[in-house]
Homo-oligomer: A and B are copies of this chain.
């Protein structure tokens, strides 16, 4: 894999942004290997992601950042300029269902996806041995009604101690308290087992069976304080019929959940997702 830097920009739209940025990059030898733009017409906001071959740049990343800050100020840009070789630190949170966890651990250990796995947190102890075989720390933090505050204080400490960039609720099945959602805004990714906004909350497959829909789905989204209402990163569906029981739906849905979460997380880890209000711009390939 080529070593790259990733430059992400969001700013008010106007003529000359692309020219200024690409001229800036060319000035330092920057070879652009992937580029994406988007103009949001309703808000007149401009978004850009550039992936630049690191070895083509004639100055250090620190210096490039310093120089770019001047340009960014001129255009009122929110921006990041990240080294793709610096892996994001991730915590996985699970309950008892292992399909998403098994899949993400596979992608991690085979380097199919690049991230540092700080630890796995679960409200049950069931998956300890499987996780520990991977030499990944496993924390069992039960979340009972009475010890909820203590549990989430402990969880927060783990987030902070591990200095994580990203928390993945891989079918965690517990609702995070509002302060955690707020303090880690844009960093917590959830997989919800329905095609949102249909079937918010508990037992979405039962709700789907009740309504008699012909497709069921899954939604990967950023967690916000409002349940299942955060910016959507990725969704997909699978066809069902009257012949499928709720158990069949849970089974078929699990495969969709697994892929949608992996896809959404990959976009996030590769800095392909820009949050804009309650929506996302996803510069997927």
Contacts and interface: CB of A to CB of B under 8 A. Distances in A.
Interface residues of A, number: 68
Interface string A231-244: 11111110001111
B279 A38 contact: no
Contacts of A150: none
A177 to B, nearest CB: 25
Nearest to A217: B215
Interface string A25-52: 1110111111101111100000000000
How would you classify the secondary structure of chain A's contact residues: helix, strand, loop or mixed? mixed
A281 B242 contact: yes
A262 to B, nearest CB: 8
A153 interface: no
Nearest to A29: B15
A211 B198 contact: no
B242 A279 contact: yes
A90 interface: no
A21 to B, nearest CB: 8
Contacts of A33: 39
A181 to B, nearest CB: 18
Contacts of A245: 41
A168 to B, nearest CB: 18
Contacts of A29: 15
Query: How many copies of this chain are found per oligomer?
Result: 4
Contacts of A20: 26
Interface string A122-166: 000000001001000000000000000000000000000000000
Nearest to A259: B255
The 9 closest A-B pairs by CB, nearest first: A212-B279, A19-B26, A19-B22, A18-B22, A16-B26, A242-B281, A214-B235, A102-B106, A19-B23
Interface of A: 15-16, 18-20, 22-23, 25-27, 29-35, 37-41, 56, 98-99, 102-103, 106, 110, 112, 130, 133, 195-199, 211-215, 217, 231-237, 241-245, 248, 251, 254-255, 259, 262, 278-282, 284-285
26 contacts: A15-B29, A18-B18, A33-B39, A38-B242, A38-B243, A41-B245, A98-B110, A99-B110, A103-B103, A112-B254, A130-B133, A133-B133, A195-B195, A195-B198, A195-B215, A196-B211, A197-B198, A197-B213, A213-B232, A213-B235, A214-B233, A214-B235, A215-B235, A243-B285, A248-B285, A255-B262
